[in-house]
């Protein structure tokens, strides 16, 4: 019976597993390609390696700085910590959706009522996650071997990744037994992954080129402790395997002792009364957006800090190849300025992901059938939609500000001037205007042709392609002009243009007002 379930789960998950595997493989393989492409000579790589190895922020983010003057060492350093988090998330989703989510929805009850052993669905879910992680590890190892990098070290990278995923499979399985809702399961399993990453970061900062004491409390630290491409050793793999077994055994023990549908930890009751802040259209919009906004703000701070922590060393780091000159040194401008101009644009494009999803939130609410009851109260259509649009605008402002300020702060902390804090914060903020054009596009689609609302992402897609590949692919000018980001000055290479900013913002405002008017006229479902 477990076999039947396993086949069914694998069939259901085939695309998910495929995309996660390819994405993770690309994460590793692209590092090898970009390192090779970016540094034309070994001397350049050596210079970058010294600079990277002495940067504490990098070590906290990536891991112990080992053999950074080799391509293999660079791949391990830049990809393993993130790769471990990625397979951790994949394992968490795979386990969660076949265990707790099924139990919560009640579908699992049907399966269990059929002639199935009590633990069959759990075992099948475990197997799916184990297989998926094995696939990811194998693909990563094969891609590195094909690059070509040393076979044994490449294998260590792949095997370590699989084992790391297995550890997080075990902890996710345990989380599914302890909690009683899918969200709580993801929360707890995600916390395990976050804790592993944090312990490793703190340990590595104290250890620099070898994991510090705290790193040895983290499965990600053990993975990096395999030391691929810097004198590979296999014994930390035993720690990973051991923790996997321990997690799974404990999860099954808990499973055997709990009732169907329940978790070990009780769900926390919420407030019986709504606070004054929730009792309005805007208050509800804030409640619906705040979780995503908080997540995006933290993520943007992280991205901003990472860019800023490169400091003025970027010249060494990005090398002196023609490729990097072409990308960053626009019209003979300073390489550092060129780099940060692109960094700010990148921050803004990432932040626009929040903008589009926030603008589409209104559509999500309507799809979920939650708008009818609201609009049947004294809340007008205009007020309801405005609530979501206000959150979109204010949220975009916040994530841009956090990203830009984070970049400026980290830059100042690594030896740049304090002036740069305001330069980078303000330079990033100007992209509020084009981001809001994308939001207005989403709002218009929702108001006019709700079925096609998801096309709003196309606006962001075009903007990204134009920003990064426009000149490279020699896209026609009219197509480049479609991206609202193209019309702003590339600060700090060019100086800020208030006229361009005002014009793009005006387009966004007109679009937003038109969306309001169109929404006031259509049927709401």
Rounded least distance, CB 176 to another protein, Å: 16
Distance in Å, CB of 224 to another protein, minimum: 37
Q: In whole angstroms, how close is the CB of 185 to another protein at the nearest point? A: 13
Q: Would you count residue 370 as binding another protein (CB under 8 A)?
A: yes
Per the rule left: phi > 0, alpha: psi between -120 and 50, beta: everything else, 319 is left
SS3 string, 140-174, reads: HHHHHHHCCCCHHHHHHHHHHHHHHHHHHHHHHHH
Query: Smallest gap, in angstroms, from Cβ of residue 318 to another protein?
Result: 43
Residue 240's nearest CA partner among 187, 196, 185 is 196
Q: Which two tokens stand for residue 314?
A: 């970027």
The least distance separating another protein from the CB of residue 276, rounded to whole angstroms, comes to 9
CB of 254 to another protein, least distance (A): 21
Please list every residue from 482 through 521 that binds another protein, using CB under 8 A.
521
Q: Least Å distance between CB 86 and another protein? A: 27
Smallest separation (angstroms) from another protein to the CB of 278: 6
CB 146 within 8 A of CB 68: no
3-state secondary structure 453-487: HHHHHHHHHHHHHHHHHHHHHCCCHHHHHHCHHHH
Report CA-CA distances (Å) from 163 to 20, 170, 219, 252.
Answer: 16, 11, 9, 19
Q: Out of 148, 231, 269, 476, name the contact with another protein by CB under 8 A.
A: 269
Nearer to another protein (CB atom), residue 134 or residue 379: 379
**Cα separations in angstroms, 176 against 8, 191, 219, 249:** 20, 13, 20, 14
Please, what is the minimum distance in Å from the beta carbon of residue 285 to another protein?
Answer: 11
The token duo for 90 is: 């994949």
Residue 381 touching another protein (CB under 8 A) = yes
358 vs 440 by CB, closer to another protein: 358
Q: Least distance from C-beta 99 to another protein, angstroms?
A: 17
| 376 or 499: CB nearest another protein | 376
Q: How many CB atoms lie within 10 A of CB 163?
A: 27
Query: Binding residue for another protein (CB under 8 A) from 181, 386, 414, 516?
Result: 181
Query: How far is 51 from 498, CA to CA, in rounded Å?
Result: 37
Residue of 41, 206, 380, 422 that binds another protein (CB under 8 A): 380
Closest CA to 222 of 208, 205, 204: 204
Q: Which stretch binds another protein (CB under 8 A): 16-24, 84-92, 147-155, 278-286?
A: 278-286
Per CB under 8 A, the segment of 151-159, 268-276, 415-423, 428-436 that binds another protein is: 268-276
What are the φ/ψ torsions at residue 242 (nearest 5 degrees)? -60, -45
d(CA 306, CA 146): 30
State which residue, 369 or 476, has the beta carbon closest to another protein: 369
Q: Is 377 in the site for another protein (CB under 8 A)?
A: yes
At closest approach, how far in Å is the CB of 339 from another protein?
A: 41
Q: Which is nearer to another protein, 225 or 281 (CB)?
A: 281
Give yes or no for residue 8 binding another protein (CB under 8 A): no
Please state, as a whole number, how many other Cβ atoms lie within 10 Å of the Cβ of residue 14.
10
Q: 140-148 — which CB contacts under 8 Å span 24+ positions? A: 140/24, 140/25, 140/28, 140/29, 140/83, 143/25, 143/28, 143/29, 144/28, 144/29, 144/32, 144/72, 144/75, 147/29, 147/32, 147/71
Task: Give min distance, CB of 220 to another protein, in A.
Answer: 31
Judge contact between 335 and 329, C-beta under 8 A. yes
> Should residue 262 be labelled a site residue for another protein when binding is judged by CB under 8 A?
no
* Cβ atoms within 10 Å of 451's Cβ, excluding its own: 9
Contacts (CB under 8 A) with another protein, residues 35-74: none
Site string for another protein, 107-146 (x = CB under 8 A): ----------------------------------------
Q: By CB under 8 A, what part of segment 420-479 binds another protein?
A: none
CA distance 74 to 142: 17
What is the spatial distance between Cα 342 and Cα 359, in angstroms, rounded to a whole number? 25
Is residue 272 a contact point for another protein (CB under 8 A)?
yes
Rule CB under 8 A: is residue 267 a binding residue for another protein? Answer: yes
Cα–Cα distances in angstroms (integers) from residue 352 to residues 97, 174, 199, 202, 461, in the given order: 29, 36, 31, 31, 10
Minimum Å gap between C-beta 302 and another protein is: 25
> Residue 356, CB half-sphere, CA atoms under 13 Å: how many?
20
Applying CB under 8 A, does 280 fall inside the site for another protein? yes
Q: Tell me: does residue 525 bind another protein (CB under 8 A).
A: yes
Q: Please say which residue, 49 or 285, places its beta carbon nearer to another protein.
A: 285
Residues in 290-319 that interact with another protein by CB under 8 A? 291
Q: Does residue 266 touch another protein according to CB under 8 A?
A: no
Of 278, 455, 473, 482, the residue at the interface with another protein (CB under 8 A) is 278
Pick between residue 7 and residue 382 the one whose CB is nearest to another protein.
Answer: 382
Q: Residues in the site for another protein, rule: CB under 8 A? A: 181, 183, 267, 269-274, 278-281, 283-284, 287-288, 291, 368-370, 372-381, 383, 521-525
């Amino acid at each position: 019976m477990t076999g039947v379930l396993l086949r069914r789960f694998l069939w259901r998950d085939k695309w998910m597993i495929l995309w996660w595997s390819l994405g993770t493989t690309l994460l590793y393989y692209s590092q090898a390609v970009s390192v090779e492409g970016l540094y034309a000579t070994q001397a350049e790589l050596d210079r970058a390696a010294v600079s990277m190895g002495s940067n504490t922020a990098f070590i906290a983010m990536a891991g112990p700085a080992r053999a950074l003057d080799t391509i293999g060492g660079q791949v391990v350093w830049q990809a393993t910590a993130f790769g471990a988090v990625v397979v951790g998330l994949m394992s968490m989703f795979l386990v969660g959706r076949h265990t707790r989510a099924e139990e919560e929805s009640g579908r699992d009850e049907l399966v269990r009522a059929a002639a199935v052993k009590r633990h069959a669905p759990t075992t099948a879910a475990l197997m799916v996650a184990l297989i998926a992680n094995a696939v990811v590890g194998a693909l990563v190892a094969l891609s590195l071997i094909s690059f070509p990098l040393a076979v044994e070290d490449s294998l260590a990278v792949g095997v370590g990744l699989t084992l790391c995923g297995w550890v997080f499979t075990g902890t996710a399985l345990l989380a599914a037994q302890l909690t009683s809702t899918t969200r709580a399961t993801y929360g707890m399993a995600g916390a395990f992954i976050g804790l592993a990453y944090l312990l490793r970061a703190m340990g590595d900062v104290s250890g620099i080129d070898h994991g510090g004491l705290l790193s040895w409390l983290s499965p990600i630290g053990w993975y990096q402790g395999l030391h691929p491409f810097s004198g590979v050793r296999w014994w930390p793999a035993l720690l990973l395997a051991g923790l996997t077994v321990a997690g799974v055994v404990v999860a099954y023990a808990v499973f055997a002792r709990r009732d169907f549908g329940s978790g070990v930890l009780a769900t926390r009751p919420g407030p019986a009364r709504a606070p004054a802040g929730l009792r309005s259209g805007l208050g509800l919009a804030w409640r619906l957006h705040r979780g995503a906004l908080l997540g995006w703000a933290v993520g943007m701070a992280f991205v901003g800090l990472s860019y800023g922590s490169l400091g003025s060393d970027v010249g060494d780091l990005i090398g002196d190849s023609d490729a990097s000159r072409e990308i960053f040194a626009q019209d003979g401008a300073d390489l550092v300025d060129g780099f940060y101009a692109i960094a700010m644009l990148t921050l803004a494009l990432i932040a626009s992901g929040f903008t589009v999803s926030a603008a589409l939130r209104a559509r999500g609410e309507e799809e979920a059938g939650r708008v009818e009851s609201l609009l049947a109260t004294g809340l007008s259509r205009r007020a309801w939609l405005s609530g979501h649009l206000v959150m979109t605008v204010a949220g975009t402002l916040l994530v841009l500000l956090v990203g830009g300020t984070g970049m400026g702060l980290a830059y100042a902390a690594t030896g740049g001037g304090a002036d740069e804090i305001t330069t980078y914060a303000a330079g990033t903020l100007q992209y509020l205007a084009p981001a809001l054009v994308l939001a207005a596009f989403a709002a218009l689609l929702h108001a006019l042709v709700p079925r096609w609302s998801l096309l709003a992402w196309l606006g962001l897609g075009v903007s990204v392609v134009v920003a990064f590949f426009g000149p490279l692919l020699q896209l026609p000018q009219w197509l480049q002009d479609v991206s609202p980001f193209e019309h702003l000055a590339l600060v700090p290479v060019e100086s800020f243009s208030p006229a361009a900013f005002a014009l793009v913002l005006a387009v966004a405002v007109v679009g937003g007002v038109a969306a309001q008017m169109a929404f006031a006229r259509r049927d709401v479902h």
